[in-house]
A and B are shown apart, each in its own frame.
Chain A
Amino acid sequence: MPAIAAAQTPAAAQKPAAQKPAAPSSGKEFVVGGSWLGPMGMGTSSAELLRSNGSTLTLFDTDNSLGSGFGLTGGVGFELTKSIWIEVLGGYSRATLHSEISGDFEDADVELLSADISRFSVEGAALWYFAAGGANAWFARGGGGWGRELDLGRALAEDTFHGTAGFGWRHWWGQPKGRTRSGLRASGGVEIRTGGLTLSESSVRVGPIAAVHVFFGF
């Protein structure tokens, strides 16, 4: 009996350790998955003539936006502490610029213009695991990086800089044993982007983002 008790004690002692943030951890991991970038408004703009009295005469109005797009992301993460990880991700995504035309002075044809763009990005981020239990953990994530947007004709490329912030959930497949393990991660948040291909006077854009990744510890 004492021997059994002695054997149980370490097991009980391990239980709280498993509930710490960053629960099962292998120190490094690969991350690969898909991302969704939500629509971003680019404002309205009008083609205007100037009247002799200084007022304007509108030729046509435009309402511009960057539609939602899907992409692929991948990278590596590193454990700094039990609750803090950092990661570097690269991504590729496509989206569509939209311009809705209205109020044409001469009632011109075609009122919705669309052009696809592609985007490459590199981002560094920090993750803070603030709650964990069993095979699940919750985290907050913030990061920033550089990107390049290209029209699909590859005629024009513009750099972008972005920041992201959000929350996510992480799930380990199977029992966390050893140092090699894998799982699923989902996150959502908001992105603030500046620069890039734009149709607005302001180059700052804000939109929702979401991502689902598979991770492999190593």
Chain B
Amino acid sequence: MTARRTAVFAALGLALMLATGVDAYLPFGIRWLDSAMPIRYYVTNRDVPGVTAPQLQEATQRAFGAWSGVSTVDIGAQFGGFVSNEPLVSDSTSVVGFMARPDLDRVLGMAFFEYDLTTGVIHSSDVFLNSTFPWSVAANGEAGRFDVQSVMTHELGHFLGLGHSAIGETEPAAGGGRTILGKRAVMFPIAYPRGNIEDRTLEADDIAGISDVYATPDANRNLGAISGRVTLNGVGLFGAHVTVFNPSTGALAAGYTLDTQGRFVIAGLPVGTYIVRAEPLDDVDLDSVFDEDTVVNINFRPMFYEKQVAVPPGGTGPGIEIKVRAK
């Protein structure tokens, strides 16, 4: 069975819909088959002010390069040519292009998939960038314009099967939405302001996420995971954010508790000793992570696990339980 499903909202500029005080990568549970590599993609043959179609293709290829350059995975992409197809048409081809969507006045871009509901195998994926905004492909960024490569790197994370991370802090914006204070993941749903090019470079959380989905057998033997539960009064919490921090490297990664037992697994982690912290998803639009009708308990205080946690090579350490307290 194949269904078309919207993935995630792209990086947005300025004040956005997501407010997060948590850190997490989130694999959708879908992926491209190894046999689909390199993934063939096409580019809509449409220029927009400041960016031609060939320039978009070059920036897209560089953005793919950020993901394929992760040493623990074996993924790649190949440009198939310029086409007249729009990105959002269900045509079983993967298309990247600009579209004018003034109705999405806070959305810089979006990714869509066609995937098998049973196996989770992605058949095609499209990405569009909203040409309502000003864009640039300048090597060092351009004041007043969003960087195509940065936003495309985020969208291609969705294209490859990743959801939104939440390694970031935001605050309410004067005109509504949220403004970003800081972040540490390309897959954070809110983009840096215009002119910034930081999101061309993946962070540890992005690398853990893509490694969780596409790690090579060799990498799987060297990467590890942290697993456990988050409980409140002995009852599992769904939707808690669990952050792991490696003091040796400064790397941050995270995951969510994804069932009513409060269980979580954060994989794709380099071996080491980590500090673990759980916190409520209390300032984020929950539908950016979970289905709209999902009930998430946010009535608890952020809490560190009382011990450092070892991540072994090729496996998972003993499960931990983070017992949080109600607010």
Residue ranges of A at the interface with B (Cβ–Cβ < 8 Å) = 42, 45-52, 54, 56-57, 59-60, 62, 64, 97, 99, 101, 104-111, 113-115, 151, 153, 155-156, 197-201
- Whether A49 contacts B183 by the Cβ 8 Å rule is yes
Contacts A47-B250, A108-B277 known; A52 to B307 CB distance under 8 Å?
no
B302 contacts partner chain A, Cβ-Cβ < 8 Å: yes
Q: Does B312 contact A (CB under 8 A)?
A: yes
B193 engages A52 (CB within 8 Å): yes
Q: Which of A49, A60, A110, A201 contacts B249 (CB 8 A)?
A: A201
**A197/B304 in contact, CB under 8 A:** no
Task: Answer yes or no: B68 CB below 8 A from chain A CBs.
Answer: no
Apart from A52-B192, A153-B317, what 8 extra A-B contacts exist at CB < 8 Å?
A45-B247, A47-B252, A49-B181, A109-B301, A109-B324, A113-B304, A155-B318, A156-B273
Q: What residues on B are CB-neighbors of A57 within 8 Å? A: 169, 181-182
- In the bound complex, residues from chain A placing their C-beta under 8 Å from that of B309 are 115
Q: A49-B184, A52-B198, A108-B304 are in contact. Are A155 and B167 (CB under 8 A)?
A: no
CA distance A42 to B182 in the complex (A): 27
26 residue pairs from A and B, CB less than 8 Å apart: A45-B247, A45-B248, A47-B250, A47-B252, A49-B181, A50-B183, A50-B198, A51-B182, A52-B193, A54-B198, A57-B181, A99-B247, A107-B302, A108-B279, A108-B303, A109-B302, A109-B303, A109-B304, A110-B305, A110-B306, A113-B275, A115-B308, A151-B317, A156-B271, A199-B273, A200-B248
B residues adjacent to A (C-beta < 8 A): 21, 167-169, 180-184, 192-193, 196, 198, 243, 245, 247-250, 252, 271-273, 275, 277, 279, 301-313, 315-318, 324-325
When chains A and B are docked, how far (Å) is the Cα of A201 from the Cα of B182? Answer: 23
Are B308 and A99 interface neighbours, CB within 8 A?
A: yes
- Contact A105/B21 with A156-B271, A199-B273 known, Cβ cut-off 8 Å: yes
Q: Which residues of the other chain, B, contact A99 by a CB distance below 8 angstroms?
A: 247, 275, 308
Q: How far is the CA of A57 from the CA of B183 in the complex (A)?
A: 8
Complex Cα–Cα for A91 and B158 (A) = 51
Report yes or no: B249 in contact with A197, Cβ–Cβ below 8 A.
no
* Cβ contacts under 8 Å, A105 to chain B: 21, 169
Q: How far is the CB of A66 from chain B (nearest CB, A)?
A: 11
Within the assembled complex, what's the spacing in Å between the Cα atoms of A115 and B272?
A: 13
Q: Shortest distance in angstroms between B237's beta carbon and chain A's nearest beta carbon?
A: 15
Question: What is the count of residue pairs linking A and B with beta-carbon distances less than 8 angstroms?
Answer: 124
Contact A113 B310 (CB under 8 A): no
Other-chain residue from B168, B247, B311, B318 in contact with A49 (beta carbon distance below 8 A): B168
Distance in Å from the Cβ of B190 to the closest Cβ of chain A? Answer: 10
A-B pairs, top 4 by smallest CB distance, nearest first, are A49-B182, A108-B302, A155-B317, A156-B310
| Interface contact B196-A113, CB-CB below 8 Å | no
Query: CB-nearest residue of chain B relative to A106?
Result: B302
Write out the residue numbers on chain B whose beta carbons fall within 8 Å of the beta carbon of A108.
Answer: 277, 279, 301-304
CB distance from B202 to the nearest CB of A (A): 13
A199 touches B21 (CB 8 A): no
Tell me the complex Cα distance, A111–B313, Å.
Answer: 28
Give Cα distance in the complex from A168 to B185, angstroms.
Answer: 54
Least Cβ distance of B268 to chain A in Å?
16
Q: Are B303 and A110 in contact, with the CB atoms below 8 A?
A: yes
Closest to A150 in B: B310
**Nearest B residue to A200, CB-CB:** B248
* B192 contacts A97, C-beta separation under 8 Å: no
Question: Bound complex: CA of A197 vs CA of B312, how far in Å?
Answer: 11
- Which residues of B lie under 8 Å from residue A153 when comparing CB positions? 310, 317-318
